[in-house]
A and B are shown apart, each in its own frame.
Chain A
Amino acid sequence: MTATASVGEAEQGGMSPSSEAIGLRAPAFQRILERLGSLWTFGVLVVIVVAFGIAAPSLYTKAAWLSTSEYAVEYLILAAGQTFVIVTAEIDLSDGAILGFSALAGSLLMNNLLNHHLDGGLTTFLGIVVMLASGTGVGLLNGLLTVKLRIPSFIVTLGMMIAVGYGAVNLLTNGNEISNLPSQVLAIGTVSVLGGWLPVPVLVALGVALLTGLALARTRFGLRTFAIGSNRLAARRAGVAVNRHIVWCFGLSGFLAGIAGLMVTANLSTASTIAGQNDELYAIAAVVIGGASLFGGRGSIFGTLIGTAVIAVLTTGLVLANVSAFWQYVAIGAVVIVAVAIDQVRTRTAD
């Protein structure tokens, strides 16, 4: 080891001294940011939780936590799938639309089965299967169109968002919402544990975050996801089935949008044609605040979790502090831009 280390120094000493020197002369704040990594967003979260707590102490109540976590569930589940897609340097603009579509498709089926007096438990099961399958199906279609037709995923999923999110959902029910649902579905939204602090949807979202986080950071699938986003040609040359992998990532994003659709339906006791609209923007914002690069190769589910929490706390906090709802959008938009700007400064040092 010592031998290696000493030659290592020799290598660095002789190696392009100019670039090394530039790295060392970077401004102190850049180096501090680099050290912090993406942890700085966690600091931002702590700051806004404390700041809003002072401005509006009701932030620390159970009611505030429950309403905050209700937003967060929807965004977190979507953003987890979006993280995989963004890490491969693609994007999924349609996950909000898939949420709405799968929720409505499953609810439509459940509504029909209930009208035919089918058992509520079986109806719920079939409804969930349809939600997850339709979500996965649209997601896989996104992926296939992207890799087979070689159309940028931005375009494919933009088209899918419009076609599915505004077209298909209204075609399914002639624009009506569905609220005749089995009690078992509604139970998902109302049952909770830990004295009411942890509703089932929150548990599901945290479970999704944990599993996807481990999959991204610790498995072969995750490593290859990063490799594809970092250098697609290199991944291909290393024997990674790049196209198939990208299709799976879109499929995962669609599958999770199906889960999110189920959670939203359970929370609202209704499947509406506007469910999920604009959610993709928050999901992307959460991923980006969490430190992922839209150019691929970087990102983490933990970062995405923090990003989602920042958005959710900001939303609730501003409401509780009696700030006009319109300012929420300004605040969230500003956070996205600031997050990426800070990230730019950080990576510029690294390069």
Chain B
Amino acid sequence: MGQSLRIGGSRAVKSDIVVTDGGPPGAGGAAPAVEVRGITKRFGSVLALRGADLALYPGEILGLVGDNGAGKSTLVNIISGAVAPNGGEIFVGGQKVHIGSPLDARRYGIETVYQDLALAPDLSVWANVFLGRERIVRGPMRYFGWLDRRAMASEAREQLDRTRIRIDSVDALVGKLSGGQRQAVAVGRSAAWGSRVLLLDEPTAALGVEQQERVGELVRNIAAHGLPVLLISHNLPQVHELCSRVAVMFQGRVIATVKTSESSIDEIVSWITGAALVTRRAE
């Protein structure tokens, strides 16, 4: 309980620690694409989230950082529908929504790129892009679920081209692609389907430096086309470089949201470790 006191079990303390100087990007006052308020999640006796707030605005790349166990994954899993929250609200495009499953999330235009990429290596690129939303032919064969393979192949090609994904053939089996190409397919697939937000969970953890650069380019490209990206990463230099804002989680809450143009990596680190909290409270 000492901990919760320190980071604020009461409203007074809470208002103390939520830093708003990183606020929404641009003073235009655009509505957030996706916003969560006061999300709580308990796993048995462990409080993983203690009222997390987060808002993601159109066209931005928002970094989500924090130490292991700070609640990043839980929060992302709640937004992507993989985990049900105990309390709190989720808004998509200003509307309050209930997300009960990954399918619900997808219906609201929320797409997730998982750390393991969630690709089927024995299927072609187009089949991976369309898995779960296969195109079926018109005509009587539709009753048998007859696949419109040509339509899926050409649409997959277009989708990947739009996000400037470089894949020679959409008929290639995903298992035969390089690690970077697989990453690109996973990101491109989600970017193509996502209409509200793209969640990226540690997208470059398994990649080499050059491939990280490419994924970074890809993410910038996606955001530039208007789809906001929530980037969960341990790679602070990358987060600092790619993101316009960074939200820092500490013990189940988003304790600070900072603009990368105004804060150094060191400052972000001080929030991650909680050191900044102590300083602020001392002031």
Contact B120 A237 (CB under 8 A): no
Is A5 interfacial (CB 8 A cutoff)?
Answer: yes
Write out, one digit per residue, whether chain B residues 111-122 have a CB within 8 A of any chain A CB (1) or not (0).
010101111111
Contact A218 B146 (CB under 8 A): yes
Is B244 interfacial (CB 8 A cutoff)?
Answer: no
Tell which of B91-99, B127-135, B274-282 binds the partner.
Answer: B127-135
Residue of A with least CB distance to B213: A14
Please give the distance in Å from A91's CB to the nearest CB on chain B: 17
Q: Tell me how many residues of B have a C-beta within 8 Å of chain A.
A: 39
Is A240 interfacial (CB 8 A cutoff)?
Answer: yes
What CA separation (Å) do A216 and B176 show in the bound complex? 22
Is A200 interfacial (CB 8 A cutoff)?
Answer: no
Contact A223 B168 (CB under 8 A): no
Per the 8 Å Cβ criterion, residues 10-51 of A in contact with B are: 10-12, 14-16, 19-20
Neighbouring A residues of B131 by C-beta, 8 Å: 223-224, 227, 234-235, 238, 240
Contact A10 B166 (CB under 8 A): yes
Tell which of B24-32, B33-41, B177-185, B225-233 binds the partner.
Answer: B177-185
Please give the distance in Å from B192's CB to the nearest CB on chain A: 14
Q: Name A's interface SS.
A: helix
Please give the distance in Å from A266's CB to the nearest CB on chain B: 28
Contact A11 B181 (CB under 8 A): yes
Size bracket of the A interface: 35 or more
Is B171 interfacial (CB 8 A cutoff)?
Answer: no
Q: Point out residues on B near A: beta carbons under 8 Å.
A: 102-103, 106, 112, 114, 116-123, 127, 131-134, 136, 144-147, 149, 161, 164, 166-168, 175-176, 178-181, 208, 210-211, 214
Q: Point out residues on A near B: beta carbons under 8 Å.
A: 4-5, 7-8, 10-12, 14-16, 19-20, 215, 218-221, 223-224, 226-227, 229-231, 233-235, 237-240, 296-298, 350-351
A227-B123, A231-B120, A231-B121 known; 8 new pairs, CB 8 Å cut-off, are A11-B166, A11-B178, A19-B178, A223-B123, A224-B131, A227-B120, A230-B120, A234-B118
